[in-house]
A and B are shown apart, each in its own frame.
Chain A
Amino acid sequence: MMGDPRLALYFDGNLRLYLPGDTLAGEYQLESSRRVPAKAVELAVLWHTEGKGDEDLGVHYFDRREGGADAPLDLRRPQRFSTTLPASPLSYEGVIVKVRWCARVRVFFPKGRESMVEEPFRLGHVPPASEASRGDRP
């Protein structure tokens, strides 16, 4: 709907592939023509599993900021973030287990409303896996 605020998240250089030890940096903001007061905002850089197994989640970087009752957050200005990525776990596209990395921003508005945006990225160069038949030779 026209006029609704849109939460946007960008990585510097629009990179999507990183190596262990690289710096993941970027910014997020609430794109809106009018001021939308927010109670709190959270940024997380995390990995999660997908596939047949139940989902597991691990948080590498977490930042939460809260606005006061008299001074709610104004997120129309770009908010910067930066973190050094760990050595593991690497992104992995397996047969029944997948490991995926992303940066996730949540904005909490008054009256229990919430917005979330997520941008995936790859960590490492691990190629996709396929099921091996017995006796396979490299």
Chain B
Amino acid sequence: MPRSFRFIQKKRGDRRTGSHQLGAAGQAFLFASFLLGGGVSLGLTIANHTIPEWRINHDYVPHACRVLGKRVVEVPDERGGFRPELWLQFALGKDEYATWGYDGGGLVTADRERCEQRLAEFEVGREYACWYDPLDPNQAVLVRDYTLAAWLRLLLPIPFLVVGGGGLAFVVVNWGKSAERRVVLARRTAQLDLLQTGESADHAFPTLPADTAIINSPGTRLRYRLPPVRPGWRLWSLVAASIVWNGVLAVLIVMTLNSAVGGGSHLVLAAFMLPFLAAGGWMAAVLVRKMVQAMRVGPTVVEISTHPWRPAGRFEVFASQAGRLRLDVWRLALVCEEEATFSQGTNKRTESRRVFEQELFRRDNVDLDAAGILEHQCEIVTPAAAMHSFESAHNKIRWQLVVTGQAGPKTGFERAFLVHFHPLARVGDR
């Protein structure tokens, strides 16, 4: 049964249960308003500033006039400034003209003294060159030039025109199109992009992530060396945060101490800074511990014999761990995690869940300092009914080889390496 649009909508992230047409109409109205506002603003700027200045410099006729008076006029608009004006008198044939003018209104400044300095350049009673408007001789100027402001004003409406015009074009192009049709049109447009040089997924297996990072990384023991999932970003983020926080805190401490030495009393400020001092100290302690740990825990290397992996397949895995510490546990596991990204208000949040974990190897009480390096190679049989790797804009299913180590209750590390799990290519493939 054909359905009419619904007024009441429910929204969670990008999911809507209301009327797409009503939403599109709202978008069209918004973008049209931007476009109209930008267009009106541009028109007014051209009419009130650009064209008059152009005419002054191109159309006005040169003549001679006598200055009979001076004044500084207060401009009653949002600029809140002053403008110099001179009382000009000149004759055109039998007609006499007298008018206030200077530069056609280009110079408006909040500095009254500047206006008076400009007026001081002209003597009352003397003759000067001027230019008058042939269409209306009552408009005349003594100074003419191009002002940067008159042309920069033309740039202000451009963002509104671009956003409004682009958005309106997007709404019009997609008007009345179903979600499926929009996806197909977007895909065709992407395929027409001849300059695209980024990674592209395997077309035989849509939604599988690109594997350039794996196939371009040869191993030394097995065929492929896997790149780590998060190469040290957490540690560098902690370094940056600690530097910024403690840097600002150090400046505040110095200022407080200087003031105290100078005889001021800042006990309240000093007391207020105590929790921030504690937080800065904790952050620095964590950073030092992490850096010491990073230096003691050496690089972890994981290599695989075959790429990609498939269900019920046999593959070789090699892992090595260097370092200068004694590990209570060193463990290699195959895990699968789901990752979902969703909008929460104006924020984007990402959550993950581990849905599969298989321990491949475990060693207890390993003294890396004495052993030098710990290595292990084993064969893995992948699950027969496992879900393949999956990647879309907001949802992922990722398979990883995870190396974890524990040295005491406070020293531990976990390093993950992505593997790509493909589905079987054909029915009956095993």
Asked if B364 lies at the interface with its beta carbon under 8 angstroms from chain A, I say no
Give every chain B residue within 8 A of A96 (Cβ-Cβ).
338, 340, 351-353
Whether B390 lies near A92 (C-beta < 8 A) is yes
Among residues of B, the one whose C-beta sits closest to the C-beta of A127 is: B385
Taking the nearest CB of chain B, how far is it from the CB of A75, in angstroms?
13
Among residues of A, the one whose C-beta sits closest to the C-beta of B350 is: A53
Known contacts: A58-B207, A62-B184, A86-B206. The answer to whether A52 contacts B342 by CB under 8 A is: yes
Asked if A113 lies at the interface with its beta carbon under 8 angstroms from chain B, I say yes
Task: Pick from A42, A57, A94, A115 the residue with the most CB of B within 10 Å.
Answer: A94
List residues 37-82 of chain A with CB under 8 A from any CB of chain B: 42, 44, 46-47, 49, 51-60, 62, 64
Known contacts: A57-B180, A89-B206, A134-B357. The answer to whether A22 contacts B427 by CB under 8 A is: yes
Give every chain A residue within 8 A of B187 (Cβ-Cβ).
59
Task: Pick from B181, B184, B355, B393 the residue with the most CB of A within 10 Å.
Answer: B355
Whether A104 lies near B180 (C-beta < 8 A) is yes
Whether B183 lies near A58 (C-beta < 8 A) is yes
Asked if B21 lies at the interface with its beta carbon under 8 angstroms from chain A, I say yes
Give every chain A residue within 8 A of B397 (Cβ-Cβ).
92, 94, 97
Whether B180 lies near A99 (C-beta < 8 A) is no
Asked if B426 lies at the interface with its beta carbon under 8 angstroms from chain A, I say yes
Taking the nearest CB of chain A, how far is it from the CB of B72, in angstroms?
61
Whether A95 lies near B338 (C-beta < 8 A) is yes
How many residue pairs, one in A and one in B, have C-beta atoms under 8 Å apart? 163
Give every chain A residue within 8 A of B371 (Cβ-Cβ).
none
Asked if B208 lies at the interface with its beta carbon under 8 angstroms from chain A, I say yes
A99 CA / B207 CA spacing, docked (Å): 11
Give every chain A residue within 8 A of B183 (Cβ-Cβ).
46, 57-59
Asked if A90 lies at the interface with its beta carbon under 8 angstroms from chain B, I say yes
Number of interface residues of B (CB under 8 A): 56
Whether A94 lies near B338 (C-beta < 8 A) is yes
The interface residues of chain A, by DSSP majority, are classed as loop
Whether A115 lies near B1 (C-beta < 8 A) is yes
Give every chain B residue within 8 A of A55 (Cβ-Cβ).
13-15, 394
Whether B395 lies near A51 (C-beta < 8 A) is yes
Known contacts: A88-B388, A131-B355. The answer to whether A49 contacts B394 by CB under 8 A is: yes
Whether B206 lies near A88 (C-beta < 8 A) is yes
Asked if B346 lies at the interface with its beta carbon under 8 angstroms from chain A, I say no
Which among B2, B207, B395 is the interface contact of A113 at CB below 8 angstroms?
B2
List residues 178-212 of chain B with CB under 8 A from any CB of chain A: 178-181, 183-184, 187, 204-208
Whether B425 lies near A87 (C-beta < 8 A) is yes
Task: Pick from A58, A89, A132 the residue with the most CB of B within 10 Å.
Answer: A89
Asked if B145 lies at the interface with its beta carbon under 8 angstroms from chain A, I say no
Whether B424 lies near A87 (C-beta < 8 A) is yes
Asked if B282 lies at the interface with its beta carbon under 8 angstroms from chain A, I say no
Asked if B365 lies at the interface with its beta carbon under 8 angstroms from chain A, I say no
A46 CA / B182 CA spacing, docked (Å): 13
Whether A95 lies near B353 (C-beta < 8 A) is yes
Add 14 more A-B contacts to A52-B340, A56-B395 (CB < 8 A): A21-B427, A49-B392, A55-B14, A88-B206, A88-B390, A90-B423, A92-B390, A92-B397, A95-B355, A113-B2, A126-B385, A129-B356, A129-B387, A138-B358
Q: Which residues of B contact A (CB under 8 A)?
A: 1-4, 13-15, 21, 176, 178-181, 183-184, 187, 204-208, 335-336, 338-343, 351-359, 383, 385-388, 390, 392-397, 422-427
